[in-house]
């Protein structure tokens, strides 16, 4: 007997899909059709520049041809429509080629971040039943091939590991391409295009299913708001697999408009500023801590940044004081962006006055983005009051991939996504992010689910209980602090041992607690639950201070 577990994820009800098509939001494009059209319209224009270590460029024709050859090679290896492929590449031209190759055959990239390690990758591969995993040979001092071997041995569905560079025991990506004369039919516009990762509030990240129709609409909307056109030269400084540098307006938005994407290997000013000068970069996007760094470094640099027209800042709250300093320092416009991989993206506008740009996080892309600001009982609060942000619209998912129980909590019965953000709406419809109701730490734009780290620390035999919280940090916005209660009579532990335990479990380095404090008890809420708010208050008031060495 087979059990029908239903569709992988809820999608838009028919009446909504019809409305979004009738409004011209969903136009029946796919990533494959878009690239083919751009390559036909302007084959020799530069699509992608990968500057390091030796500068390589892809014209639109080359990108289309090379991704079609990769698509044919993937298909020849039995990879097809709907198959999941975990893509774990740094900001290189191969990333763009591979992703467009997968799009062409309807296989679904699952975007891992470069910082992810064995625990995350093993989970992505097993949970998505991935058939392939794409890696660099080495990156930032880490050998990805050994990790791939371990994950492959542990994941029965994983048939292929493709390596950009020296493949070791795996398959070289350069051996995959073949003649694309018998390419299978591509996906439909309302098919899934890829799975994004959620920042997460639970022990494991959730997967976000995005369609060609919905994502391409968010690109078109973002391009219009940010003024992206064929003259745009967009620098990708954040990891290319994250939703922000991918679509706000990001490298996919830039390619949609026929512009040029410049891939930056590292985001620091010493790497990025010379590239801005050499490639005449006009636009980029970054998280607040990086914007602070760029703002400070701009005063000292000898690099010519005069080509920059617009810098987008988002992913975490950008302080008003820092926001005021960016435009004069970098000599370009600032736009704040408040988005989420689940969909909704808000931008301040190019014609907003300075006060709006520095004090709000923007307003939605689409007139069909529905915004509700509600109290704890889901009742709407008056405009200007704080409340929980709920949203529904033409590019916001109706549910996570294969997560029915989580979906019941994260979406209302009528399909609004519970963002977990606390906002207020100004009379102009701009949103101001005031805080967060979800149990998540936003470490300078990198999201940490405390539960994931708590579970790791709890596995230590000396640990009775643990609670991980975010505490205010002037540079990162927040950093992570693990409060640990030891078992009676247990071997004493020191902070480095707790950090090592997390690191050695093989998770992304940004998830290792910045601070560890040992306490006898946690503050409790009225009904006896651990009060994370109480812990954050303790941390801010500096009540305890365990030496960290
Ligand atoms: C972006 O996407 P995610 O999925 O990594 O994180 C989304 C969450 C939001 O729910 C919010 O809590 C926070 O990140 N956030 C902000 C923010 N932008 C995102 N909090 C305060 N101020 C902001 N400007 O982070 C993301 C996706 C697309 C574009 C930009 C950011």
1 has a pLDDT exceeding 50 = no
β-pair partners for 136: 164
User: For residue 342, which atom of ligand 1 is closest to its CA?
Assistant: 4
534 has a pLDDT exceeding 90 = no
The rounded distance, in Å, linking the Cα atoms of 217 and 223 is 10
The rounded distance, in Å, linking the Cα atoms of 191 and 211 is 5
CA 327 to chain centre: 25
Pairing relationship of beta strands 333-340 and 343-347 according to DSSP bridges:
antiparallel
pLDDT bracket for residue 193 (50, 70, 90): very high
Mean pLDDT of the chain: 96
117-175: pLDDT as tens digits: 999 999 999 999 999 999 999 999 999 999 999 999 999 999 999 999 999 999 999 99
Average pLDDT (214-227) is 98
User: Which SS3 state, helix, strand or coil, does residue 279 take?
Assistant: helix
The rounded distance, in Å, linking the Cα atoms of 294 and 523 is 39
State in Å: Cα 107 to ligand 1 middle.
27
The rounded distance, in Å, linking the Cα atoms of 413 and 401 is 17
Pairing relationship of beta strands 132-136 and 207-211 according to DSSP bridges:
unpaired
Protein residue with its CA nearest to atom 2 in ligand 1: 340
State in Å: Cα 263 to ligand 1 middle.
22
381-398: pLDDT as tens digits: 999 999 999 999 999 999
Average pLDDT (348-368) is 98
- 495-to-269, 469, 548 alpha-carbon distances in Å: 32, 15, 5
Q: Can you point out the beta strands (E) in 275-416?
A: 283-286, 310-314, 333-340, 343-347, 363-364, 370-374, 387-392
Q: How many CB atoms lie within 10 A of CB 395?
A: 28
444-457: pLDDT as tens digits: 999 999 999 999 99
User: Which SS3 state, helix, strand or coil, does residue 127 take?
Assistant: helix
6 has a pLDDT exceeding 70 = no
Angle of helix 320-330 relative to helix 288-298, nearest 10 degrees, comes to 40
Give the pLDDT of residue 2: 46
The rounded distance, in Å, linking the Cα atoms of 521 and 429 is 44
Give the pLDDT of residue 105: 98
**Residue 90: both structure tokens together:** 């740094």
Tokens 């003649």 belong to residue: 179
Q: What residues flank ligand 1, with Cβ below 6 Å?
A: 199, 243-244, 248, 314-317, 336-341, 345, 361, 419, 421, 433, 436, 442, 445, 447
Domains observed in the chain = 26-46+57-218 (3.40.50.980), 440-541 (3.30.300.30)
Regarding pTM above 0.95, the answer is yes
Instruction: Tell me the best of 243, 338, 358 to mutate to test the pocket of ligand 1, counting ligand atoms within 8 Å of each CB and taking the most.
Output: 338
Give the pLDDT of residue 137: 98
Protein residue with its CA nearest to atom 16 in ligand 1: 316
Give the pLDDT of residue 4: 55
45 has a pLDDT exceeding 80 = yes
The rounded distance, in Å, linking the Cα atoms of 426 and 383 is 7
Protein residue with its CA nearest to atom 8 in ligand 1: 340
Instruction: Please state, for a pLDDT cut of 90, what percent of the chain lies above it.
Output: 91
More confident call, 529 vs 357: 357
Q: How many CB atoms lie within 10 A of CB 467?
A: 21
More confident call, 225 vs 532: 225
Q: Using the Cα atoms of residue 206, residue 211, residue 216 and residue 217 in order, give the sign of their dihedral.
A: negative
Give the pLDDT of residue 362: 98
Give one DSSP letter per residue of 209-270, joined into a string.
EEEHHHHHHHHHHHHHHHT--TT-EEEE-S-TTSHHHHHSSHHHHHHHTT-EEEE-S--SHH
Q: Are 506 and 500 in contact (CB under 8 A)?
A: no
473 has a pLDDT exceeding 60 = yes
The rounded distance, in Å, linking the Cα atoms of 349 and 392 is 21
H/E element holding 469? strand 463-473
Average pLDDT (354-383) is 98
pLDDT bracket for residue 530 (50, 70, 90): confident
CA angle, 505 then 508 then 513, to 5°: 80
Protein residue with its CA nearest to atom 30 in ligand 1: 339
End-to-end CA distance of the chain: 58
ipTM over 0.90: yes
pLDDT bracket for residue 180 (50, 70, 90): very high
Exposure string (b/e) for 412-423, b if CB count within 10 Å is 16 or more?
eeebbbbbbbbb
Protein residue with its CA nearest to atom 19 in ligand 1: 315
């Amino acid at each position: 007997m087979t059990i029908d577990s239903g569709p992988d994820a809820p999608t838009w009800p028919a009446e909504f899909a019809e409305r979004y098509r009738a409004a011209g939001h969903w136009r029946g494009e796919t990533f494959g059709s878009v690239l083919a059209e751009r390559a036909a319209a302007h084959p020799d224009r530069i699509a992608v520049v990968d500057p390091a270590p030796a500068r390589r460029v892809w014209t639109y024709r080359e990108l289309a041809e090379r991704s079609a050859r990769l698509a044919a090679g993937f298909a020849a290896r039995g990879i097809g429509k709907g198959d999941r492929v975990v893509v774990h590449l740094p900001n290189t031209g191969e990333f763009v080629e591979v992703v467009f190759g997968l799009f062409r055959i309807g296989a679904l990239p699952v975007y891992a971040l470069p910082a992810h390690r064995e625990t995350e990758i093993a989970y992505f591969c097993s949970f998505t039943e991935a058939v392939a995993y794409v890696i660099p040979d080495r990156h930032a001092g880490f050998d990805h091939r050994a990790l791939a071997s371990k994950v492959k041995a542990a994941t029965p569905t994983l048939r292929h590991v493709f390596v950009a560079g020296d493949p070791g025991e795996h398959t070289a990506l350069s051996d995959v391409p073949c003649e694309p004369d018998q390419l299978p039919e591509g996906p439909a516009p309302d098919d899934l295009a890829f799975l994004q990762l959620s920042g997460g509030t639970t022990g494991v990240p959730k997967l976000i299913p995005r369609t060609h129709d919905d994502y391409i609409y968010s690109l078109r909307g973002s391009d219009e708001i940010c003024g992206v056109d064929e003259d745009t030269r967009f620098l990708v400084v954040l990891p290319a697999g994250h939703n922000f540098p991918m679509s706000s307006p990001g490298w996919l938005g830039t390619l949609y408009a026929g512009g040029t994407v410049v891939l930056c290997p590292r985001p620091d000013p010493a790497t990025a500023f010379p590239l801005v000068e050499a490639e005449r970069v006009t636009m980029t996007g970054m998280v607040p801590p990086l914007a602070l760094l760029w703002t400070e470094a701009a005063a000292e640099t000898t690099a010519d940044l005069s080509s920059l027209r617009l810098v987008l800042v988002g992913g975490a709250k950008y302080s008003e004081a820092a926001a005021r300093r960016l435009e004069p320092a970098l000599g370009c416009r600032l736009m704040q962006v408040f988005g989420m991989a689940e969909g909704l993206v808000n931008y301040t506008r190019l014609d907003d006055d300075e006060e709006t740009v520095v004090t709000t996080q923007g307003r939605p892309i689409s007139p069909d983005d529905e915004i509700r600001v509600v109290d704890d009982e889901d009742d709407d609060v008056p405009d200007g009051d704080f409340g929980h942000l709920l949203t529904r619209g033409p590019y916001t998912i109706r549910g996570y991939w294969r997560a029915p129980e989580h979906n019941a909590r994260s979406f209302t019965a009528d399909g609004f996504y519970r963002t977990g953000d606390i906002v207020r709406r100004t009379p102009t419809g701009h949103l101001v992010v005031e805080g967060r109701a979800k149990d998540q730490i936003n470490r300078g734009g990198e999201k940490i689910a405390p539960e994931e780290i708590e579970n790791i620390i709890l596995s230590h035999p000396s640990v009775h209980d643990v609670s991980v919280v975010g505490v205010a940090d002037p540079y990162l916005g927040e950093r992570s602090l693990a409060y640990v209660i030891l078992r009676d009579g247990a071997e004493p532990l020191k902070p480095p041992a707790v950090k090592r335990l997390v690191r050695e479990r093989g998770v992304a380095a940004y998830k290792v607690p910045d601070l560890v404090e040992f306490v006898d008890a946690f503050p409790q809420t009225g009904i006896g639950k651990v009060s994370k708010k109480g812990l954050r208050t303790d941390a801010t008031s500096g009540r305890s201070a365990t030496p960290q060495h």
